[in-house]
Amino acid sequence: MARDSSPEDVLKSLEKGQLAPFYLFYGPEEFRLEKVLDRIRNDFVPASARDFNQEILYGGEKTGPAEIISRARSLPFLTGSRLIIVRRTENFSTSELETFLPYLEKPADTTCLIFVASKTDFRKSFYKRIKERGQAVNFTKLRESQVVSWIRGTAKELGLRIDGQASAYLHQIVGNSLRDLYGELEKLRLRYEEEMVGVEQVKGLAIHSRVYTIFELMNKVSEKNCADSLAVLSRFLEEEDKKNAPLQILGMLNRQI
């Protein structure tokens, strides 16, 4: 079976002016998914013709597969491309999903049809066929080690200059939520514009929203990372009842020893 495509694969194709005639977007990272949809919308369908050439439909509602296929085969108006986004694809029954199979074999050249699903079953012919064509795009959660790179890349896209230490510190205080991190980067961009943003600027503006657990603290201790351990300890003591927190920490340390 073919591998999943990544969001980066789609963006690289878009930079070349290329898009597949259909995709399946799925996975837990909704923020990245919506950002890629925004990018496709902005690049693929001109704003002046968007009212006529973009549709957002929902699985399980009045517009069934036959009508969606009919619209996908309609020619675009005043432009060369048409975008149809079908959300809640998981709400279609198995038989309804199979109605799309002939279209997947011979899709319209002028339409990009994107199915968005919160749940998928690749044993079903519909999902399996899209995956075999290499158009199943999995929006996975970023690993902890990938978030700082994402921060720096997103900052560059926003026109924000931020150094490595500031990026790491922003991740430390905000956490892994890309939506929250994006919001903080936008605030930094509006405040500092062309200036290089360092740790002090982040401290002065970003909101401490990350909630650390005692287990994260123990992980840092077990990694023998003194600086990170002290940073997490400081935040943990701010969040927890200071009266009981030391006993919790000592108890967990005792178990590890």
For the chain, domain boundaries? 7-138, 142-210, 211-244
CATH 1.10.8.60 at 142-210, yes or no:
yes
54-58/82-87 β-pairing? parallel
- In degrees, rounded to 5, the angle at the alpha carbon of residue 156 between the alpha carbons of residues 16 and 45 is 40
- CATH class for the domain made up of 7-138: alpha beta
pLDDT at 78: 85
Q: Which residues contact 172 (CB under 8 A, 6 or more apart)?
A: 210, 231
Banded model confidence at residue 210, pLDDT cuts 50, 70, 90: low
Residue 250 pLDDT exceeds 90: no
What's the mean pLDDT in 138-162? 94
117 or 218, which is more confident? 117
Q: Which are the contacts of 69, defined by CB distance < 8 A and separation ≥ 6?
A: 99, 100, 103
With 80 as the cut, is the pLDDT of residue 132 above it? Answer: yes
Cα–Cα dist 64/54, whole Å: 17
The 8-class DSSP code of residue 145 comes to G
Which is nearest to 203 in space by CA: 250, 147, 162, 254? 162
Helix 164-174 × helix 178-192 angle, to 10°: 130
User: Hey, which residues does 82 pair with through a beta bridge?
Assistant: 111
% of the chain surpassing 90 pLDDT: 63
State residue 115's pLDDT score.
98
Confidence at 54, pLDDT banded by 50, 70, 90: very high
